[in-house]
Structure formats: structure tokens, C-alpha cells
Amino acid sequence: MNATRRALIAATLLAPAAARAQAWAPTRAIRFVVPFPAGGATDVVARVLGERMQETLGQPVVVENRTGAGGNIGVENVVRSPADGHTILMGTTGTLTVNPHLYSTLGFDPLRDLAPVSMAFTTDHVLIVNPQVPARTAQEFLALVRGQPGRLSYGSAGAGSSTHTVPELFKLAARVDITHVPYRGSAPALNDVVAGNVQVMLDQIPSAIGQIQAGRVRALAVTGARRSALLPDVPTMAEIGLPEAQATSWGAVMAPAGTPAPAIARLNAAIRDALAQQAVRDRLAAAGAEGVASSPEELAAYLRAESEKWARVVREARITVN
């Protein structure tokens, strides 16, 4: 059989699959599950993406906040949902690649029981303190906590969330002792920093930026490789002498395992379309997040690598579920 004939046969065999991919469309509203409360960084990005996706898909994209257990309740809800393209998850560093190493009785494996759709965003964290904390710079803060081990507390979105693992990485790099207080999401933790019930947080920039700009919390350092455009006067961890504390969080859209390939392809295309829109990118940037799309295959490889990395961090920092 010559090469031309083989190519024609291959094209004929592939044509039905391509047609199905183009033909699949949602027939009802899509549930976009966010495993954290409204107002946090993950929620902010999901709502911005969802608005554009529903224009592309022709059906409502309804963000649904299902909270608890460090995000595991929301993830499990998606794992147990019908694999028909009408339920998707905004997974995160913590829920997809940290929690499996923290919870021995999850009952599901995110990398096995969810299907990658696309990367969605990356964002840096910012070290913030209540204004009553007597430290106006990162150096003053480090001197304060080193002089009073265990006296200050930091809030997080829950055990295993990025607002838990990133501060633990900071503690290892800075050799300081700050007490962890877990909450059911980053928004209530941030509220308690504002109120002074806890003094410190390493929150994602999208959820913290409003309180920083309003002067309700003080920003001391960011965790990215470069200064944030939203906080140009705030130094990086490397600039304050803690390059080992550099960290970036991310979010990725997932679907229940077994979701048909044409549905995955259409959802991926809708996310790519959303992130290609300058208006969407500007809204994410204004919130401190960078839109990043990928193929399902690229995301699958990235998730495997991230899972291996955070397994080491959990082990070395001795992170446990409180």
C-alpha cells in the first residue's frame, strides 16, 4: 500500500472523530465547581473565565462553591459527577497535587479520577500582616518573628492549600516559627487578618489586592520571580534574602474521568478562546493572576511533575492535616 493510500485511509478513519469533536455541545448549564468559598483567588478566576466560556458554549456556566476539607469536598463532588461534559472543576496546586500526600483516606485520586482539560492561571502570593503588627518592612517582620517564636499566627484556606504550603516553605527558608490557623477558604482567613484575629497570611495576590489597596493589611513581600505589577514597591522573596521561598500557585480546569474526548476538546477550546481575549487577560491581570492555557496532554504531564515536587515539600516540612 503506497503512502498516499495510507494517508487517505487514515483521514477517513479520523474524520468521524473530528466531526464528533466539532459537533459536541453542552445541552444544559455547565457546573463550574470551585472547592473554596466565594471571594478567593480561585473563585475570582473561575467567574471571569466562566463569563466568557458561556458566550462560546451557548449555555450558562454556573460557578458553584463547594467548600471544606481543604478543597477535597468540592473535588470529590466532581469526581462523583456524571462524565458528560456538564461538570468541571477549578482545581488548584493544593487540591490536585498536595492533598493526595496529606490525606490517606481520600477515597479518590485526582490524577486518576479526573481528566485534564486545560491550565487556567498562575498567581504569586504576597506576605501580608495586620497593620497593628509593628513591622513596616520584611526585614523588620523577620526580626520580630525570630524574636518571638510561635507568638504570631498565620491564616490559611485549610490544610494542604497553597496558603498553607507556601507559608510552610517560607518558614523553612526563613527559619521562623509562626503558628498555623486553618480556615474554610482564603476569604475568611483574610477577613481575620484584617480583624487582627490572626496577624499574618501568605495569600494569593488576586484575593488580597483589594485589602492591600484599601490599607486594611500591609504587604511586605511577594513570592514570584519578579515584582508584581500591582505591587511595584513590594520586594520579592529573593530581594529580602529568601530565594528558597519563591513560589507560584496555579489553577487548572478538570473534568470527571471518562468525560468523552470531544467534550474535553470543546471545553479546552472554550478556555483557550477566553484566555485569548485581551479583556479577559486584563481582568485577570488586574486581579493579580496570569491566564495560562494548555493542551490536556501538557496539563497531565505538569500535574505529574507537580505531584512529585509537593510530595517532597509535604515530607520535608512535615506538613500534616490539623
pLDDT number for residue 23: 79
Query: What pLDDT was estimated at residue 184?
Result: 82
Residue where one domain finishes, among candidates 212, 245, 278: 245
> Residues 238-297: pLDDT tens digits?
999 999 999 888 999 999 999 999 999 999 999 999 999 999 999 998 877 899 999 999
Query: What is the three-class DSSP state of 18?
Result: helix
Q: Are residues 80 and 165 in the same domain?
A: no
Task: Go through the chain and tell me how many residues it has.
Answer: 322
Q: Which of 307, 246, 304, 300 is closest to 98 using CA atoms?
A: 307
- Please indicate, yes or no, if residue 142 is contained in any of the structural domains: yes
Is residue 87 a contact partner of residue 259, using CB atoms and an 8 Å limit?
no
Residue 223 CA to residue 245 CA, distance in Å, equals 7
6 in a structural domain? no
How far, CA to CA in Å, does 21 sit from each of 17, 26, 94, 255? 6, 12, 31, 16
Q: What is the pLDDT of residue 5?
A: 45
- Do 152 and 286 lie in one domain? The reply is no
Burial call 176-213: b when 16+ CB within 10 Å, e when fewer: bebebbbbbbbbbbbbbbbeeebbbbbbbbbbbbebbe
d(CA 132, CA 116): 44
Residue 46: CATH number of its domain: 3.40.190.150
Cα dihedral 253, 254, 255, 259 sign: positive
Give me the domain span that covers residue 211.
128-245
Domain-embedded: residue 7: no
Q: Is residue 172 situated within a structural domain? A: yes
Q: Examine the domain organization and report whether 61 and 118 are in the same domain.
A: yes
Boundary residue ending a domain (245, 268, 283): 245
Residues 110 and 66 in one domain: yes
Q: What is the pLDDT of residue 322?
A: 53
If one counts the domains in the chain, the total is 2
Per-residue pLDDT of the chain (322 residues; tens, 9 = 90+): 554 444 444 444 444 444 444 579 999 999 999 998 898 778 989 999 999 999 999 999 999 999 988 889 999 999 999 999 999 999 999 899 999 999 888 889 999 999 999 999 999 999 999 999 999 999 999 999 999 999 999 999 887 788 989 999 899 999 999 999 999 888 899 999 999 999 999 998 988 999 999 999 999 999 998 999 899 999 999 999 999 999 888 999 999 999 999 999 999 999 999 999 999 999 998 877 899 999 999 999 999 988 998 888 888 888 887 5
Residue after which a domain boundary falls, among 220, 245, 270 = 245
Specify whether 236 is located in the same domain as 142: yes
Q: Is 295 exposed, middle or buried (0-12, 13-18, 19+ CB in 10 A)?
A: middle
Three-state secondary structure call for residue 90: strand
First to last CA, the chain: 65
Based on the fold, state whether residues 138 and 239 are members of the same structural domain: yes
97 domain residue, yes or no: yes
